[in-house]
Structure 1
Amino acid sequence: MPGKRLKESDALQDYLDPKPYLGYEFEKNMSECKFPEEIASDIRRRCIEFVIELVTQLRQRLPENFKVLQSISSLSESECLKPVKNDILDLAKLFVNNAEILTRIDFQRRKLHTIQWIQTSDTIGLWAEIVSYRDATGENPFKELSDLAITKLSLPHSNADVERVFSQMGIVKSKLRNRLAITSLNAVLTIKYGLRRHGKSCHNYKLPESVLRKIGSLEAYQTSSESPQPSTSTQSPIEGDPREIIEWDLADLQ
């Protein structure tokens, strides 16, 4: 039915137009080919069935939290700067339970378009500007809203993002480095992705002077009193006879 707003659970077949319009190019080719009525009807029917099957399979591939991903669009620069905005509270409730903070987020979003922003063509740039914005009192009047937006936008929104991280983790935490602690693994991955965000690599990044001064000193190795534990449950002979350590290393090299 034209104009009918369907839910995800609705069967598409129950709302089909009896004679759906399949587009200008399709109708033009059908009229030029001058097929017999029976063949033309069969072609049209098969095209409709193909589209229905395509929509059905696309629905099956949607993640369970697709409504959350759909609501992320309310944080885009085009939606945020509209005078009339969609409700964001359902999205905010997933991360915020405090009614007072939810009220602030609602009011802050309603007056977001009253400020003349510079970065109005890029979502990330706009929210970076909102985060750094300060009023006459030196405070950010959009703090709660910007915190929510940065939290949402920093989440991995596809399986590909997560798979890439796991792939990099497998490269860093190899069999020879199976005792690598979680804190060390997290630090290595943070550095790798941080360099990538800045368009740098390990051979052209210039370390700050403060970091260079720490190299070779005890200050570079100062940690908390509780030392991190290895992230694997496999017990390897790290402590004990040095010959056992050599045998463990040689076994991993094979």
Structure 2
Amino acid sequence: MIQLENIYKSYKNNRVLSNINLTVNKGEVVTLIGPSGAGKTTLLRLLNWLEVPDSGKISIGSATIDASKYTKQEIRRLRSQSSMVFQHYNLFKNRTVIENVADSLIVVSKMKKKDADEKAEDLLRKVGMADKLQDYPANLSGGQRQRVGIARALAVDPKVMLFDEPTSALDPEWVGEILHLIKKIAAEGMTMILVSHEMRFVRSVATRIIFLENGELVEDSNPKDLFENSRNVRTQAFLHKLTYEEE
């Protein structure tokens, strides 16, 4: 489903990711954890080619792209395999809720407006936003905006959904509802890669957890083994710090 081979990424003289090799199978829910600056969001953005690696190959489904040589067609094909849900929603302020979802179907999927509106309405009903179709983002709470963002990501029928700290910009009262929605989508079999600092959520939803530090893949494990039986000193130190901060 997803394969990263020998991925390196730097910003100027700062190495952000180093020799990342990773395979994600269909239906897996993989969560990226680690300290700030570990490279988690960069790795996620590489999968949608919002960032370009210095070297290496990325494959999602039938699409493969090599950082050393690629075409616009290969970029479009790779991007068509996944959808991304951002921290700050990235909704169009001058579009209504239903337009924010339907426009991607009209532009990307070349769907007729009537059909796009019908599908958008169905998805917005699924995420609990059927009563806000004609509202603008400015009139919505952060949690409601994120629901629209998730509906928009689902609209193009992605093979993979990418979540970049989807609850980090939300008020506490909305965090649980958004996490519940993500768990519901995961339970339907959607392949996911998430960046999150919500450790209880990570433990409950992930089939695999990857710990990144200083741009390196330090540990790749199932939740129980990572949280209870990790033998990696760096992982242990990170988890211990989180536990101390939460007390």
**Structure whose residues are more often strand by fraction:** 2
Counting helix residues as a fraction of each chain, which structure ranks higher?
A: 1
TM-score, length-scaled by structure 1: 0.24
Q: Identify which of structures 1 and 2 has the higher relative contact order when contacts are C-alpha pairs closer than 8 Å and 6+ apart.
A: 2
